[in-house]
Chains A and B, each alone.
Chain A
Amino acid sequence: MKEPVRISHTSALILQTINAGFIYGFDVMEATGLPSGTVYPALRRLEKEKLIVGQEEDARKAARENRPARRYYKLTTPGRQVLAAALERYPLLSKLSPAEKNA
């Protein structure tokens, strides 16, 4: 049986932040207060673990708006399961996590 993925407190916080709608790297940084040197490598690792998936937004849409296309992240199904487990493991995490972006 495959061992469940155990993630650090920081990774759990980043997962929770993405789940709350902060889907860009710099958004995550602003919402969590973590430095870029922590957030981006964490995003790479989470993506490698298939807990999040990164996608580039539509380049044509970005070009129409005269801006570069951004890469955004969203949770996968295993990511949501791991986040739920992490919230049980770190009960205070929900208090630290930002409110949903569009709430």
Chain B
Amino acid sequence: MLLGAARILVPREQRAGWYREWYAEIWHWAHFLAESGRLNGESRMELARHCWGAFADACWLRFNQERAMRVLQEEPISARFCLAAIFLLLVLSFAITGFAPTIRAAFTPLPYFQPERVADLSFHGEFSRYHEGTLFNSVASWVQGSRTAESAAGYSWSPVTLKLSGMRSTRIAGAHVSPNFFEVLGNRAFAGRMLRRGDAQECPSCAVITYGIWEHWFARDPYVVGRTVLIDDEPHMITGVLPASFSFIYPEISVWMLPSANSKATNFAERTGAVLRLARGASFRAAEAEFRGFADRDPSGLGYSTPALRPMESRTRQGTRLYLGFTLLSLLGGFALARSRLAASGTGRLKMQWRDLVRWWGFFVLKSWLLLAVCFVVALELPARLSIVLTGAVHPLTGPISTWFFLVLAMVSIAWSMHDQSRRCRMCLRRLGNEAFVGEPGYSLLEWWGTEMVCADGHGLLYIPELKASWQECEEWVKLDESWQGLFTRDGAGDKALIA
């Protein structure tokens, strides 16, 4: 059976002879073992292992090893291979991160009822802290007399400890919300029900969990509704599971619950806010002005910070847009740096044809853009994905980790892209080879004077000084004219080689 499978790999013209040889060898080996009384389980296994070698043999015949080695040595130096490899990396990073759900969410409509009418009210006060109860009551009293807001609900999130009976505890982000929070957004539960008006009296310990928590911690238990979990050592009953498509400004929030009636908890201004649904015909600007007026008059103490009201769509997507902005900025920065660096190495003085110039910079921009796209996807998605896989929730530190990860990856990518570009032929974009040291090692610094690399097609030569002693000592591209072509020949395989 193994031979039959391996046979398919062998080129058709060699297949019959190949199979005859292998079949005869195995036949003789098996008969030899049987006749000598050594055919047992162990020797059968050994024979089967030998049969696996048929695949290696068949592969050798199918994929001419020498040609494959030559392609492997030759291809990575071409610009096309470089772009294809980075593109493959991008596709892989998409696949590994579950096809970039965060980025996709930024380009799909928000999962709310009439999302264009939903806004986020945030408070900006450095080191300011609010009593949760004050915030929720103020928002509720504002809405009662408001002409611009139809309904509003406060939220306040912070890291909490989640514990299930018989399992280890974990740190996740939990939010205290007004009972009508999900009514304002207009979401329906995937299982069970959402929090609702009246729960403050009827079910003060009710909690709603995200799809990820249900999937990871409850192993998709269909009877999860009604189960009890400990959140910060207080028992809470699960009343519902959010749909997988649900998203909010803070993707870290994994559990939603009501504030306790006697809560004295305070929270940072940056972690608190309110969602509101505008009245029909009301504008965001009018609602913001109205709330500011209310906050100035409010005796409960909301007046010492500046409330800002922004459409929910804009708030939810600002993170992704910020990353996109940084990506574009990195690309422009890399372009400017590469231009100044390559201008210093003599490339700028080259009289390149318009087509070559476009190809040269087009390759650099495309390569850098693809690399930054990989950084963008990996940094934005991987920490959250890993956190979900490991804990079932987006860890509160995921945001800062993503930001730093992106900055480091973007810097490394742009630096590599510039280095790679400077080591390519200015004419054909192939990686320069035939590296040779020039001069002789110095007595004091024990280094060569420099390194010379040459284009295999004989377009030019790059001199790289080992020590940049002055402004004169920089990488220098020397274009080789037609008189040098005699040093380069074309071998049988069609590849040029330096014979000097």
Residues of A whose CB lies within 8 Å of any CB of B are 24-26, 29, 35-41, 44-45, 56, 67-71
Contacts and interface: CB of A to CB of B under 8 A. Distances in A.
Pairs of residues from A and B, 3 with the lowest C-beta to C-beta distance, nearest first: A36-B53, A37-B56, A37-B53
Given A40-B54, A41-B60, A69-B20, 4 more contacts: A36-B57, A40-B60, A67-B31, A71-B24
B49 A40 contact: no
Contacts of A71: 17, 20-21, 24-25
B321 interface: no
B56 A40 contact: yes
A36 B65 CA distance: 17
Contacts of B57: 36-37, 40-41, 44
Interface in B41-95: 49-57, 60-61, 65
Contacts of B26: 26
Given A70-B24, A70-B28, A71-B21, A35 B61 contact: no
B52 A24 contact: no
Contacts, number: 66
B29 interface: yes
B23 interface: yes
Contacts of A70: 21, 24-25, 28
A71 B25 CA distance: 8
A35 B28 contact: no
Interface in B2-38: 17, 20-21, 23-29, 31
Contacts of B65: 41, 45
A24 B56 CA distance: 18
Given A25-B25, A67-B28, A70-B25, A35 B53 contact: yes
A3 B10 CA distance: 31
Contacts of B53: 35-40
A16 B189 CA distance: 76
A64 B207 CA distance: 85
